Amino acid sequence: MFMLGFLRFSVIYFCFAIAFSMIVRDGETLQVFGAIRQLGLVVRTNLIGVTGLLSIVGVSYYLSGRNKAVMINAALAIAATGFFKSGFTTFKSSMPFAQDFYADHFLAKVDYFLHFGTDPWQIAHNLAPFINPHLAGLFYVKVWLVLALGFPLLLAVTESDHARRLRFLVLYCVTWIGLGNVAALMGMSAGPIYYDNLYNEARFDGLRAALDSSGVSTSLTGWLHAYLWQNYATAQNVLGSGISAFPSVHVAMATVLGLYLAERFPRLTLISVIYVGSILFLSVYLGWHYAVDGYVSIAVIMATSAWLARRSARTEGLDVVSGLTHSTMVR
């Protein structure tokens, strides 16, 4: 069962995240209980919130002649995602204890420079009259979350190409661990919405006013802004907690999903591009990210995907050559 390897990796990551959290939080054993509580919530979210993908499991089970391997892989994917996401949140919520926020000033300046002397949020909010803040928040948070949590399950029940399945699982791990933990810890930043709170400045007063006037502050997004800040201020380790802007996991995961959709169904490439572009736009519009956070995420995922594809092609080529050589020697 190929998902068994992913489950093992996720459990190891989960344990490592708990150890990291306890170390940087000076041995707080409560982090173990917080992580375990998250594990149950993530599994429940997968079982309830990913109903569409679970339907695919049922259809696959029927079409495959009640193939038990499909069902087992689906169950392993759900369990693995629970450990994986719980480990990610535990690690992320503890990062400020290991490294202070320091990179926001630099990232804000880079954004300002790249966009010719204008903050990207100002450009984005020119479209505020045409955007429903409630739908924008639902799309950015809930639709994205279902797709992100359900991606391993999608691979488990619909993907028959072993090389592609492995490649996209690697990209999945690169997104959450490589970008969301390692790179985020190296470039600790909170994002525009929390900039003024952290640094006691008024650099993004205009953004807050724009979020108020556009209705974002009274939507799901506004509630999440307050929820994450409260958890940060009280040092809580709860599901979905943790503040970090650079690089953007939202945009990176959207890019992974877009690449997968475009590769499997080339006719849907335009939809993939629109989806990635929408998440990138909303990450700035809703105040979560500097635009450069998303640019870097897209670049890293695209480059990693290309490298993995080339490596996979070389491996397959060597396998073919080896097979032909062996066949010739036998004859």
Task: Measure the CA–CA gap between 203 and 240, rounded to whole angstroms.
Answer: 27
Residue 326 has pLDDT above 50, yes or no: no
Query: Domains in the chain, start-ordered, CATH in brackets?
Result: 100-330 (1.20.144)
Half-sphere exposure of 163 (CA within 13 A, CB side): 14
Percent of the chain at pLDDT exceeding 90: 52
3-class SS at 6?
A: helix
**pLDDT tens figures, 195-226:** 999 998 889 999 999 999 999 999 999 999 99
Lowest mean pLDDT among 22-31, 146-155, 180-189: 22-31
The H or E element that residue 60 is part of is: helix 51-63
Closest CA to 293 of 111, 93, 96: 111
End-to-end CA distance of the chain: 35
Residue 329 has pLDDT above 90, yes or no: no
Count of C-beta atoms within a 10 Å radius of residue 195? 24
Task: Measure the CA–CA gap between 280 and 294, rounded to whole angstroms.
Answer: 6
CA atoms 169, 171, 175, 179: torsion sign: positive
8 Å CB contact between 308 and 167: yes
8 Å CB contact between 279 and 145: no
Q: Read off the tokens for 6.
A: 């992913």
Closest CA to 188 of 154, 127, 232: 232
Confidence (pLDDT) at 25: 76
8 Å CB contact between 111 and 120: yes
**pLDDT tens figures, 13-64:** 988 888 888 888 775 555 555 555 555 554 555 444 444 555 555 555 555 5
8 Å CB contact between 38 and 238: yes
Q: Read off the tokens for 285.
A: 């519009």
Please, what is the Cα angle at 90 between 87 and 92, to 5 degrees? Answer: 105
Highest mean pLDDT among 26-30, 73-77, 82-86, 132-136: 132-136
Query: When comparing pLDDT for 154 and 331, which is higher?
Result: 154
Which amino acid is residue 97, in one-letter code?
F
Cis preceding-peptide flag for 247 (omega within 30 of 0) = yes
Query: When comparing pLDDT for 4 and 209, which is higher?
Result: 209
8 Å CB contact between 250 and 301: no
Residue 77 has pLDDT above 70, yes or no: yes
Instruction: Provide the total of helices (H) and of strands (E) in the chain, helices listed first.
Output: 16, 0
Task: Measure the CA–CA gap between 268 and 275, rounded to whole angstroms.
Answer: 11
Confidence (pLDDT) at 321: 39
8 Å CB contact between 221 and 286: yes
Please, what is the Cα angle at 152 between 148 and 154, to 5 degrees? Answer: 90
Closest CA to 95 of 160, 227, 188, 199: 188
Confidence (pLDDT) at 1: 63
Confidence (pLDDT) at 318: 45
Residue 247 DSSP label: S
Closest CA to 21 of 122, 97, 134, 75: 97
Beta carbons within 8 Å of 229's beta carbon, 6+ residues apart: 194, 197, 243
